[in-house]
Structure 1
Amino acid sequence: MVIRLHARSAQIIVAGTIALVFLAASWAALRPWLAERSLSRDPTRETASRALSLDPANHRIRAMIAALHHYSLRLRDYPAALAAYQSILRDNPLDGVVWLHLGKLYAALGRLSESDRALRLAAQLGQSNTALLWETAVAYLDQEQPSRTLDALTGLLSASENPSDLAKGYELARTLLTSEEMLDTFILPTVAHYTRYANYLLDRNLNDQALAVWIRLADLAPRTAEPIDPYLQLRVVDLLMQAGRLDSAHQLWTAAVQRMGFADAKAQSNLVSNGSFEWNATVGRGFDWRIRGVSGVAASIDPFTAYTGRRSLRLIFTKSRADFSYVSQLVPIRPDATYALQAQIRTDGLTDPTGIAVEVIDPDGHALVTTDAITGTKGWTAVTAQFRASDGIEIVTLRVRKAPPPPYLPPISGVAWIDNVSLARVP
C-alpha cells in the first residue's frame, strides 16, 4: 500500500512538472505575439511600454517602438527613436532596414554626414532587398543628392527583374537625367539591362529612345556572344517597319524567327512568312500575317483543319456584303523578276459567284496578280498564278481577297479555309 502511494505521488509530481513546462513554453510562445498584437492595435506610449515589458528582447517590438517615435505624429520623439535605433544596431549591426530608418532620422535632425553613412550601410547590407534600395533612393532624393539617388537606383535595377520595380527605377532616374545620359551613365552596358530598358521604353511608345537602346544592344551582343531576346527583336521589327526601314526590319525578322525555331527549312525559297499558318507566336507581328475580321466575316486560325500540318486560316461569312481583304502580309521581293504564287483553298457552302482568291498588290495598291477564285463547296484546291515585278518594286502586299457580291444578289454565307500559301522566285 505504501509503495502504491509513493508511486502515485511520483506520477503526480511528473505530471505537474510537465504541465508547468508546457505552460512556460506556451507563455514563451504567446508572449511575443501578445506584445506585438497589443502594440499594433493601440500604438500609444503605455501600450509600447507594456509590450516591451512583456518581451523586452523582442527585436521587432523594439523596431516598432522606434518607428512610432520616429514617424507617428502622436508619439513623435526623435531622441527616443534615435536611442532605440542605436540600441537595436548594437545588438544587430547587420540590420539594413534599421540603418535605413536611422539614416532618415539623421536627415530629419540635420545630421547629413551621419545620414549618408547610415544610408550607404543600408544599401550595402540590403543589396538584394529591392524595397530597401528603393526607400534608400527616395531618402537621398529628399536630401537633394541626385548622384546618391542614382547609385541606389542602380543597385535596385541590378537586384530586380520585376517589371514594376524596373519601371519605378527608370521613371525616377529619368526625372534626373536626359535620355542620352540614361544610356551614357546610368543603364549598365549589358545585354540584360539594355533589353529591360528597351522593353520599358517600347511599353510607353517612346520609340525613338527605344531604337537608340536597340542600336547599342545590337552592337554589344555579338561582342559578348550573348543571344538577344527574340520577342524584343519582334518588337523592334514592328518599330523599324513603322519607320519605313523595311530592309533592316526584314533582316532582323529573319534572325528572330530562325532563333525561335519558326523558319521553314523545307521551303527556303518561299518568301511568305508562316504560309502554313502553323506559327502562333508571330501572327500579327513583323512580316507575318495580319488577320482581322469585319462585320459579317470572322477571320481566325483553325487548329483542327489543314491541307498539311495542323492549322489553316478560316473565314466564316455570315450574311456578309464586305469587300474583304483583311488577311495580309508584306513580302520583300527583288525588282525585275518573275514570281509564282500558290495556295490551297477549301470551301463549304460559300454562296457567292465571286469566290475566295489570293492576290499580290504593289505599293500603289494595284493588283499585280490574282489567283482563280474558289466558291461553293470544294475540297482542297490548288490555285496558282505568276507575275513579273517591274523595276522599283521591292516590297508587295500578299492578301486574301473576297470581293463583295453584286447588289442584286443576297449576302454571302459559308466557310473558306486557306493553307500552304507560297510566293517563290521563278528561275
Structure 2
Amino acid sequence: MAVTNNKLIGAVGLAVLSVVLAWRILVTGLAEYYVARDTPEADAGALRWRSGQSVALYRQGLALAGRDPAAAMRLYQAAAWANPTDALVYLALAELQAGLGQSSVAIALAEIADALGPMRTPVLARSAAFWLAQGRPDRALARWDMLLRNRLGTAGQLYPLLLRWVENAEARPLLRSLLADPPQWWDQFFAYVAAKAVHLEAVAFLYRNRERSGKPPGAAEQQAYLERLWREGHWLETYLAWLSGLDERQQQGLGNIYNGGFELPVTGLGFDWRISAPRGVSVEIAETYGTRGGKALHVVFDGQRVHFRHVRQPLYLEPGHYRLQGRVRPDGLRAERGLRWTVRCGESGDQLLAESPSFTGSDDWQPFAQEFTVPAADCPVQWLRLELEGRAELDFEAQGGIWFDDLAIGRQD
C-alpha cells in the first residue's frame, strides 16, 4: 500500500512540475514576444509577464534617463541583476554615474562592459562614445578599430570621425598605433582620406608615416596617393612618390619612357603604361619573334569603327629637345590613315609636340624615330599615346594587327 502511495505522490509531483515548467515557458515566451516588438507598450507588456525581463528593464531605463535619472538607475540595476552579462546595461549605468560626477565608478563600469562585450556592434559604438566623453580618445580609437575589423559596414559613420583627427595636427599622434601596425581596413580608410581631406598635407602625413616593414607601398595605397597628388598638379611629388613605390625589378624599366620594352607587368599606376581595350580591339603584351627581351606590345583591330587612343603613358620631361624612337612590325594592318605615336602636353593633349610616321600594311621589324621639343612653359607633364589617325568617321575603321617594341625617348641637347 505504501508503494502505491509513493507512486501516486511521485506522479502528482511530476504533473505539478510539468505544469510549473509549462507555465514558466509560456511566461518567458510571452515576455520575449513582447520584447521583440521594441515599443514602450511592448516593454510594459513584457514586464507584466516577467518582471525580471532584462531587455525591457534596460529599454525603460533608457526612456527615463533624460528626465528621471534615479528611476533609470533603479531599472538599469534591476536589468543587471536579471542579466549580469549584458554589457549595454553597464555602459548605461556608466553614463548615468558620469553624469552624476562619479567618474571613477563610471570608468569601472565601462571597463566591465568592455570586458563583457568586445565584439557586439552596439556595445563597441557606445563604449567609444563613453570614452570620448571621458577624454580618452585612445580607448575610443581602440573600440572603433574593433568595429571596423569586424563590422566594416560602420565605415560610413566612422571614417568621417577619423578624418577629423587626421586633419587636426594635434590629434594625429593618436593614430600612431594604427600607422605602426595598419589593420585590414586601413587601405580603404586611406583612400577615403586621399579623396576627402581638405589639405594634401593630411594625406601626406598618413602616407609617409605608415610602417611598411621595408616594402614598397601597396598598389591601392599608392594609387590613392598618386591620384590626389595628380589632381592638385604636384607633378614632381607625384613622380617621386611613384619612384619610391617601385621594387628592384621595376626600377630596371626606368627611363624617359618607363618599361619601353614591355618586359615588366603593367600596373597602370603613376608613370607606368595605361592600357585598355575598347570594343573591336585586342591589346596585349605577348611573346613574339624578333624582340630583344621576348615580349612586345600587340594591338589587333577586328574591322569595327573605333577612336583608338587606349595605349598611353604620362611623361615627366624637362624642357628641351628629345628624340622618340622604337621598333614596329605591322601585321596586315588596314586603316585609312594608319596608326601613330604622339607626344602631347598635358591630359587634354591640345598641344601636339610630336607624331611618329603612320603605320599600316605588313612588314618585318623596322625602326622609327621622331624628334620634338618640350617647351619651357605650360607643359609640366606630357602624354605618349598610340592613336588611330583620322578626321572623317571612315578613317577610324581598322583591321589587322601591329607590334611595337623598344620604345624610348632620349635627350638631344
**TM-score, normalisation: structure 2:** 0.68
Question: Which of 140, 152, 166 is 1:153 aligned to?
Answer: 140
2:171 aligned partner: 182
Aligned in 2, Cα 1:174/1:365: closer, same or farther, shift over 3 Å? closer
**Between Structure 1 and Structure 2, how many residues are aligned?**
381
Residues 291-335 of structure 1 deviation map (CA, whole Å, 9 limit, x = unaligned): 579xxx747655798857798545566456x6x545421134686
On the 8 A contact 2:32/2:46 being kept in 1, the answer is no
On the 8 A contact 1:358/1:398 being kept in 2, the answer is yes
Letter in 2 for 1:156: R
C-alpha distance in 2 between matches for 1:255 and 1:19: 80
The reply to whether residue 40 of structure 1 matches residue 36 of structure 2 is yes
The reply to whether residue 400 of structure 1 matches residue 396 of structure 2 is no
C-alpha distance in 1 between matches for 2:202 and 2:402: 37
Q: Secondary structure of the residue that 1:354 maps to in structure 2?
A: coil
Residues 39-80 of structure 1 deviation map (CA, whole Å, 9 limit, x = unaligned): 33461534312134xxx5xxxx3133222343279xx97555
C-alpha distance in 2 between matches for 1:231 and 1:137: 29
Aligned in 2, Cα 1:230/1:404: closer, same or farther, shift over 3 Å? closer
1:304-315 superposed matches below 5 A: 312-313=298-299
1:92-131 superposed matches below 5 A: 95-106=86-97, 110=100, 113=103, 114-123=105-114, 125-131=116-122
1:386-397 superposed matches below 5 A: 386-387=369-370, 396-397=382-383
Aligned in 2, Cα 1:94/1:311: closer, same or farther, shift over 3 Å? farther
The reply to whether residue 66 of structure 1 matches residue 55 of structure 2 is no
Residues 226-261 of structure 1 deviation map (CA, whole Å, 9 limit, x = unaligned): 6632320122223333444444434443454548x8
C-alpha distance in 1 between matches for 2:280 and 2:235: 27
2:408 aligned partner: 424
RMSD of the alignment, in Å?
A: 5.0
C-alpha distance in 1 between matches for 2:33 and 2:394: 76
On the 8 A contact 1:234/1:256 being kept in 2, the answer is no
Same amino acid, percent of matched pairs: 17
Question: Which of 220, 224, 229 is 1:240 aligned to?
Answer: 229
C-alpha distance in 2 between matches for 1:172 and 1:134: 12
1:385 aligned partner: 368
C-alpha distance in 1 between matches for 2:126 and 2:55: 17
Aligned in 2, Cα 1:401/1:391: closer, same or farther, shift over 3 Å? closer
Aligned in 2, Cα 1:134/1:404: closer, same or farther, shift over 3 Å? same
Aligned in 2, Cα 1:179/1:29: closer, same or farther, shift over 3 Å? same
Aligned in 2, Cα 1:424/1:316: closer, same or farther, shift over 3 Å? same
**TM-score, normalisation: structure 1:** 0.66
On the 8 A contact 1:277/1:419 being kept in 2, the answer is no
C-alpha distance in 1 between matches for 2:45 and 2:368: 91
CA shift at 1:290, angstroms?
4.0
Aligned in 2, Cα 1:205/1:79: closer, same or farther, shift over 3 Å? closer
On the 8 A contact 1:153/1:169 being kept in 2, the answer is no
What runs of 5+ residues in structure 1 fail to find an aligned partner? 1-9
On the 8 A contact 2:197/2:203 being kept in 1, the answer is no
CA shift at 1:355, angstroms?
1.1
What runs of 5+ residues in structure 2 fail to find an aligned partner? 1-6, 289-293
CA shift at 1:344, angstroms?
4.6
The reply to whether residue 136 of structure 1 matches residue 132 of structure 2 is no
C-alpha distance in 2 between matches for 1:205 and 1:103: 35
CA shift at 1:404, angstroms?
1.6
C-alpha distance in 2 between matches for 1:227 and 1:27: 67
On the 8 A contact 1:343/1:420 being kept in 2, the answer is yes
Aligned in 2, Cα 1:43/1:365: closer, same or farther, shift over 3 Å? same
C-alpha distance in 1 between matches for 2:15 and 2:134: 61
CA shift at 1:123, angstroms?
4.1
Letter in 2 for 1:147: G
C-alpha distance in 1 between matches for 2:341 and 2:31: 77
Letter in 2 for 1:238: E
C-alpha distance in 2 between matches for 1:116 and 1:79: 19
2:314 aligned partner: 330
1:216-295 superposed matches below 5 A: 216-217=208-209, 221=211, 225=214, 228-256=217-245, 258=247, 263=250, 271-273=257-259, 276=262, 279=265, 282-283=267-268, 285-290=269-274
Aligned in 2, Cα 1:253/1:344: closer, same or farther, shift over 3 Å? farther
C-alpha distance in 1 between matches for 2:107 and 2:216: 40
C-alpha distance in 1 between matches for 2:108 and 2:369: 76
Aligned in 2, Cα 1:30/1:91: closer, same or farther, shift over 3 Å? closer
On the 8 A contact 2:91/2:113 being kept in 1, the answer is yes
Aligned in 2, Cα 1:31/1:255: closer, same or farther, shift over 3 Å? farther
C-alpha distance in 2 between matches for 1:175 and 1:37: 43
Q: Secondary structure of the residue that 1:329 maps to in structure 2?
A: strand
CA shift at 1:370, angstroms?
0.3
On the 8 A contact 1:361/1:397 being kept in 2, the answer is yes
Aligned in 2, Cα 1:272/1:112: closer, same or farther, shift over 3 Å? same
C-alpha distance in 1 between matches for 2:26 and 2:281: 62
On the 8 A contact 2:317/2:381 being kept in 1, the answer is yes
Aligned in 2, Cα 1:353/1:136: closer, same or farther, shift over 3 Å? same
Residues 206-235 of structure 1 deviation map (CA, whole Å, 9 limit, x = unaligned): 461443324532xx537x546632320122
On the 8 A contact 1:304/1:310 being kept in 2, the answer is yes
